[in-house]
Chain A
């Protein structure tokens, strides 16, 4: 089965990636502060206040979330993670995206070769229904297609 959602495009792009899901705010600095360095080369999420994501791998994932929270380094941390190859492929917000997430995605769109696609306002149902490991296709126009496991042999997100 494929579920279809339509959101607002902030940074456009066509992306296919596996879902990584948090129902709590994503604290970007706490999650990715050392990602990409020799301390955390794989991009393992470090925020122990977020049990849904703690110790999971970020690179190339479709991060599904309500909002980001915390330090105003957030946008530049996303930018750095993206440039260093350990950022998410896309960020899919159930709500309107916040200033830090938008800043991060906009920075990657203007100053790097690996923009983080950002679609927001996908609605509460999106975050209720999407599950970790499901394959997600994001279209340029903000359409988000989520494949459930009965039609796609999706592997669960890798744990570090």
Chain B
């Protein structure tokens, strides 16, 4: 790799040993992918993936301390992923004690982030690109971000350029101010290997469509056709929220870091050709059709995580009829518009079923700044949610479920990402609303209508 004068000085150790090691790490990383140079990060802020002080990540916090002590600090402010638990989320004393133990590195980590220049104490969210949070890159910006769903969103919906950087590597990139140039940072790396033809007869749920794309494309770049029929040709908040959820799912079942949507995402629009084609599609791109049957197949392929526990004889099912005890929505974190939409959906559902409150303890997850804006701008709806028994929290449900005590709780979710990383059981959004507002029955036990 050819380094410029500034980086050669770092390599000679002129900025200290920690900086030299940071550079060497990034050079070794880039050379593995054939990078010939480092390019400057142009994004205004960074985004990191470490928001939970999990005890398992002690080596990371030790490394962060080594960097701080060595004077290797980020050149720009940054946001980071959500915390694993928040004080206002209801839990038992035993749960609280276990969380304290599991997230025993939380205070240390937050102190280290402060010393490194994190934006503020509300900067803990996986959706830092929400207007209320304000970490919104520009089209074409070079980023050194991590967090699979945020990288996917920045690349695809905004048109910034970012590889799927790992935790720690994203921090080191922001410390150096440079990233190795390869993959999704290059024009060639942003071309599509797959054409995904969406031929559904009804609007596919974003998490299921994303899951189907992730299974098929794994790490390749898909060009999605036929989706504009369902979400339009303008990047409205509704379309952005759809893409946020779809991209997160594609990055969980696969490692899709960039997708293009015909007539919608910025690069797809810019590269459309007069003959109806698109210059972003590789000549040898493969074609895969996703229809309603494929969506149903993907949903049916998800394992039922509760079966294992029942087989082990926990006895929980007999005690409460197998009903779920906790429901999560908002993974990735909800936008303000989604909080409003889900408030409406639950209100309608409760009215339809003649219930006053949700039948399952329900947590909606959103960035602390989004939650604050929701309460500020829409006090009526925020109050309505509280009346229905719903908690709005800034926590990360993935991290929350790393507490083994939560394995004993029957959790339901409409998030493919959450169900992948935990023992939460997946239901479609429509089904989740029905369960939360109408209660549990045999249909749900069997897996809902699509099984």
Contacts and interface: CB of A to CB of B under 8 A. Distances in A.
Contacts of B25: 106-107, 110-111
Nearest to B31: A10
Interface residues of A, number: 41
A19 B254 CA distance: 23
Interface string A58-75: 000000000111111111
Which of A48, A70, A99, A111 is the most central at the interface, judged by chain B CB atoms within 10 Å of its CB?
A99
A37 B146 CA distance: 24
A83 interface: yes
Contacts of B24: 110
B439 interface: no
A88 B166 CA distance: 18
Interface string B49-89: 11000111111100100000000000000000000000000
A10 B421 CA distance: 28
Contacts of B148: 70-72
B415 interface: no
A102 B33 CA distance: 9
A34 B56 contact: yes
A79 B253 contact: no
Contact of B169 (A30, A33, A83, A107): A107
A84 B148 CA distance: 25
B29 A79 contact: no
B57 A76 contact: yes
Given A25-B218, A73-B49, A80-B60, A99 B166 contact: yes
Contacts, number: 135
A90 interface: no
A34 B101 CA distance: 13
A34 B33 CA distance: 29
B69 to A, nearest CB: 14
B36 interface: no
Nearest to B218: A25
A106 B420 CA distance: 27
A71 B150 CA distance: 11
A148 B29 CA distance: 33
A97 B32 contact: yes
B167 interface: yes
Given A71-B421, A75-B168, A106-B32, A80 B219 contact: no
A106 B49 contact: no
Contacts of A25: 218, 254-255
A7 interface: no
B404 A70 contact: no
A72 B164 CA distance: 7
B28 interface: yes
A75 B50 CA distance: 12
B165 A103 contact: yes
Contacts of A48: 303, 305, 308, 423
Given A69-B253, A110-B28, A99 B165 contact: yes
Nearest to B150: A72
A33 B166 contact: no
24 contacts: A27-B252, A27-B420, A30-B420, A33-B56, A37-B102, A39-B102, A48-B423, A67-B255, A70-B421, A72-B49, A72-B146, A72-B151, A73-B49, A73-B146, A74-B166, A75-B169, A79-B60, A80-B57, A83-B59, A98-B255, A99-B166, A100-B255, A107-B168, A107-B169
Given A70-B255, A72-B147, A110-B24, 5 more contacts: A77-B167, A79-B59, A83-B59, A84-B56, A100-B164
